[in-house]
Amino acid sequence: MTDLLTPVLSEQWGEPNSWKLARYEATGGYRAMRTALTMQPVDLVNLVKDANLRGRGGAGFPTGMKWSFVPQDNPNPKYLVVNADESEPGTCKDIPLMMATPHTLVEGIIVSAYAINCHTAFIYCRGEVLHVIRRLQQAVREAYAAGYLGKNILGTGYDLDIIVHAGAGAYICGEETALLDSLEGRRGQPRLRPPFPAVAGLYASPTVVNNVESISSVPAIVNHGAEWFQSMGTEKSKGFTLYSLSGHIKTPGQFEAPMGVTLRELIELGGGMRDGHELKFFTPGGSSTPILTPEHLDLPMDYEGMAAAGSMLGTKALQIFDDTTSVVRTTLRFVEFYKHESCGKCTPCREGTWWLVQLLMKFEAGTAMEGDVDKLLDICDNIGGRSFCALADGAVAAVTSAVRHFRSEFEAGYHTPAWELFPYEKSALF
Ligand code: NAI
């Protein structure tokens, strides 16, 4: 099975001092930067477009296309903001990447910033992960000392500063416009789009917001070319990517594989299911993506495969649940998270997630009433697509998909508590 792995981003993970500049350079680091700084910015944009790198933060928007939206005739400064506020439940790929090889990200930022004519870049990192923030700061300091950042980088005349910014630990600040508000010093709440940040973002200036993994994939594309990147993956979802596996499997962790690998293959890479238990359901890309079931085990884990199954690839955070798990209890835990993290700006999300939790608690306790499943779906109907940003849609996706696949388990909540059907002690997760 290990021949499925395509370690590019994760190649140096676990190697001694992989986070230090000397080690990074000894393994070919900063070659892409040297090449890129001899190229025309527009050629770099076209290279990333040709590679068809799609945003790894969850939405899969083509990265090169996003860069090309930056209006170069706008007299304002252009900004690059790396979204390192990884918070989607189950998602844990950017943090190990930044811990193990922060210079991949720094190099990716230099190349990407140069491509969009930007001279100030930010890394917006979750405030809780102080160890990551320190590691990023150390890498940025090393890059300045080596002349890779600051004024006149390597004598090319190109200037770039990178600022590592610590968020304060709010899920909503991973939403790109809330992130920008937070970076500007305000309470992080989403803005209406359009205008998209590429046109009017930080300080109302053109701003590219890209995920850590997306930016970190750029140096390899510069080194090996678009065709090499295109040689991996499926027809419309190209390249390698990091899948996060957690839950009821033997060896959870990060697995770097081509786009389009199947869940069955990933579970095998993760050592298989817990002994004596079967897969019951899984999230393909964190709890914001509709859950899927064993019938979807052999679908390609790419944007198209997951959409065809009625879900989304999202952050590729596969949370695996076996037959000991109560889907009602899991859904409640998911929705409690969204209720807690709702920024409160818009009513459908603020009130709706609260109501969903109230009702789901009844299902868990076995005190729901006949017809409450329909009430649950009705509340979802009044939230989905009616809120400012995608946060509430995530909560709705968890509920509607759980009811779609396991309606009878919800109906059991009219008379039987979930803990009787699925005792806690059997499920190691909750
Ligand atoms: P989206 O599809 O609205 O936008 C994706 C990106 O494309 C954004 O950067 C947006 O500015 C850009 N874009 C889209 N249309 C554009 C246009 N016409 N012109 C210029 N730029 C355009 O998705 P959104 O709401 O930004 O993100 C939702 C995704 O985030 C979900 O798929 C979810 O999986 C993921 N997510 C990830 C988290 C994490 O921790 N990594 C946390 C929560 C959600």
* CATH number, position 141: 3.40.50.11540
Q: Using a 6 Å cutoff on CB, does residue 393 contact ligand 1?
A: no
For residue 336, the domain's CATH number is 1.20.1440.230
Q: Is there an atom of ligand 1 within 6 Å of 284 CB?
A: no
pLDDT of residue 419: 94
**Atom number in ligand 1 closest to CA 171:** 42
**C-beta separation of 124 from 183 below 8 A:** yes
pLDDT (0 to 100) of residue 142? 98
Assign residue 278 the CATH number of its domain: 3.10.20.600
Asked whether 87 lines ligand 1 (CB < 6 A), one says: yes
**pLDDT on residue 2:** 63
The pLDDT of residue 378 is 98
Question: ipTM for the complex?
Answer: 0.97
- How far is 254 from 11, CA to CA, in rounded Å? 12
Å from CA of 58 to ligand 1 middle = 7
Same domain for 97 and 11, yes or no, is yes
Per the domain annotation, does 167 fall within a domain?
yes
Q: Which atom of ligand 1 is nearest the CA belonging to 175?
A: 26
Residue 424 pLDDT grade (very low, low, confident, very high; cuts 50, 70, 90)? confident
- Mean pLDDT value across residues 34-51: 98
Residues 136 and 15 placed together within one structural domain of the fold: yes
CA dist 78 and 366 (Å) reads 55
Q: How far apart are CA 120 and CA 126, in angstroms?
A: 20
C-alpha dist (Å) from residue 321 to 273, 281, 314, 352: 9, 5, 18, 26
Q: Within a domain: residue 215? A: yes
pLDDT in the model for residue 311: 97
- State which of 230, 261, 278 marks the end of a domain: 230
Which residue's CA is the closest to the ligand 1 atom numbered 21? 196
* 391 and 311 within one domain: no
Q: Is 241 in the pocket of ligand 1 (CB under 6 A)?
A: no
Compute the distance between CA of residue 280 and CA of residue 257 in angstroms, rounded to an integer: 24
Nearest CA to ligand 1 atom 28: 59
HSE, side-chain direction, 13 A CA sphere, residue 231:
7
Domain assignment of residue 302, yes or no: yes
| 3-class DSSP string for 161-209 | EEEEEECCCCHHHHCHHHHHHHHCCCCCCCCCCCCCCCCCCHHHCCEEE
d(CA 329, CA 263): 23
How many other C-beta atoms lie within 10 A of the C-beta of residue 185?
6
Q: For a ligand 1 pocket test, name from 61, 68, 303 the mutation site with the most ligand atoms within 8 angstroms of its C-beta.
A: 61
For residue 59 and ligand 1, the question of a CB distance below 6 A is answered with yes
Would you say residue 235 lies in a domain?
no
Radius of gyration of the chain (CA): 22
- pLDDT tens across 317-364, in order? 999 999 999 999 999 999 999 999 999 999 999 999 999 999 999 999
Q: Name the residue with tokens 């917006």.
A: 124
The greatest distance separating any two alpha carbons of the chain, rounded to the nearest whole angstrom, comes to 74
Task: Give the helix/strand (H/E) hosting 421.
Answer: helix 418-421
pTM: 0.97
Single residue among 296, 322, 348 that ends a domain in this structure: 322
Report whether pLDDT(306) > 70. yes
Task: Report the residue count for the chain.
Answer: 430
| Cis omega (within 30 of 0) for bond into 16 | no
Q: What confidence score (pLDDT) does residue 4 get?
A: 81
CA-176 nearest atom, ligand 1: 26
Give residue-wise pLDDT tens across range 44-89. 999 999 999 999 999 999 999 999 999 999 999 999 999 999 999 9
Q: Is the CB of 172 under 6 A from ligand 1?
A: no
Q: 58 and 142, same structural domain?
A: yes
* pLDDT band, residue 1 (cuts 50/70/90): low
Which residues on adjacent β-strands are paired with residue 318?
245
Residues 79 and 218 in one domain: yes
> What's the structural domain count of the chain?
3
pLDDT digits 0-9 by tens, 127-173: 999 999 999 999 999 999 999 999 999 999 999 999 999 999 999 99
Do 166 and 109 belong together in one domain? yes
Cis check for the bond before 195: say yes or no (omega within 30 of 0). Answer: yes
Instruction: Residue 309: give the domain boundaries.
Output: 240-322
Give residue 425's pLDDT. Answer: 77
Would you state the pLDDT for residue 430? 47
Mean pLDDT of the chain: 96
Give the pLDDT mean for 197-218: 98
If phi > 0 it is left, if psi is from -120 to 50 it is alpha, else beta; for residue 260 that is left
Confidence at residue 187, expressed as pLDDT on a 0 to 100 scale:
96
250-280 pLDDT tens trace? 999 999 999 999 999 999 999 999 999 999 9
Pocket test for ligand 1, best of 56, 63, 243, 288 (most atoms within 8 A of CB): 288
CB 65 near ligand 1, within 6 Å: no
Spacing, Cα 211 to ligand 1 middle (Å):
10
> Coil, strand, or helix at residue 31?
helix
Is 314's C-beta closer than 6 angstroms to any atom of ligand 1? yes
In three-state secondary structure terms, 326 is coil
Please give the structure tokens belonging to residue 400: 């509607």
Q: Ligand 1 pocket: which of 45, 49, 54, 66 to mutate (most atoms <8 Å of CB)?
A: 66
Please tell me the distance between residue 232's alpha carbon and the centre of ligand 1 in angstroms. 23
